[in-house]
Amino acid sequence: MNKEIAIIFDMDGVICHTNPYHSLAFREFFSTRNLHPTDEEFSAHMYGKSNSYIMSHFLKRKIEGIELLELEEEKEGLFRKIYESHVDPIAGIVPFIEELHTHGVKLGVATSAPKANLDLILSKVPIREMFGSILASENVTKHKPDPEVYLTSARNLQVEPSQCLVFEDSFSGISAALNAGMKVVGVLTSHIKEELPPCSMYINDYTALSFNEVKTLLTA
């Protein structure tokens, strides 16, 4: 057993390749407001960002409080409607998580997405019961790149941040994990590695990963 090793996964772009569907939902959301962001603008200001940031940026005013909750539910409802029939985990992640669980690794998921999105994905990808910590946007007060969600995950898993390895795909998410004092594997589903902060390793998917490889990486 390896009780002192913890692996924490982001969700969007890390468990499932959801970003294309978030783009579709945001395009529909913004088009009703006569806004048509480019692919480059989405890449710079959507992936890995909170809804508060995204909406405030593109609507060019501070979106918060009740208005944020209402607009977020509108957009995320669009996302879930579009994505529900397309949920498909990134190649190799389910057997990888199963192997980690078999070896006693503590596992968590830490996303900036709403809990309803996380519940949708965990209802279709059979990994929920293996996670000892499950955190969504409602569980924190500060969003990535603030380290709160990762520090809270470490406390939930009863390990020190230095004992955690995080899988992330975005600049803000990797920054959050590094700010928490954790090692990071960059998942190259949304960006190339030159667009991301330095990580301990980069992967395209999980097909070549093993417990021994990440254990060596974390304990090095």
Domain boundaries, the chain: 6-17+88-219, 19-85
Superfamily of domain 19-85, CATH level 4: Putative phosphatase; domain 2 (1.10.150.240)
CA–CA separation, 85 and 83 (whole Å) = 6
Tell me which of 3.40.30.10, 3.40.50.1000, 3.30.420.40, 3.40.50.720 is the CATH number of domain 6-17+88-219.
3.40.50.1000
pLDDT tier at 82 (50, 70, 90 boundaries)?
very high
CA–CA separation, 178 and 102 (whole Å): 27
Q: What are phi and psi of 77, to 5 degrees?
A: -65, -40
Give the residue with greater pLDDT, 166 vs 48: 166
Which of 57, 91, 89, 55 lies closest to 70 in space, CA to CA?
A: 55
Q: What is the DSSP pairing of strand 6-9 with strand 164-168? A: parallel
pLDDT digits over 41-58, tens only? Answer: 888 888 767 788 999 999
Residue 22 has pLDDT above 80, yes or no: yes
Per residue in 115-144, pLDDT (tens digit) is 999 999 999 999 999 999 999 989 999 989
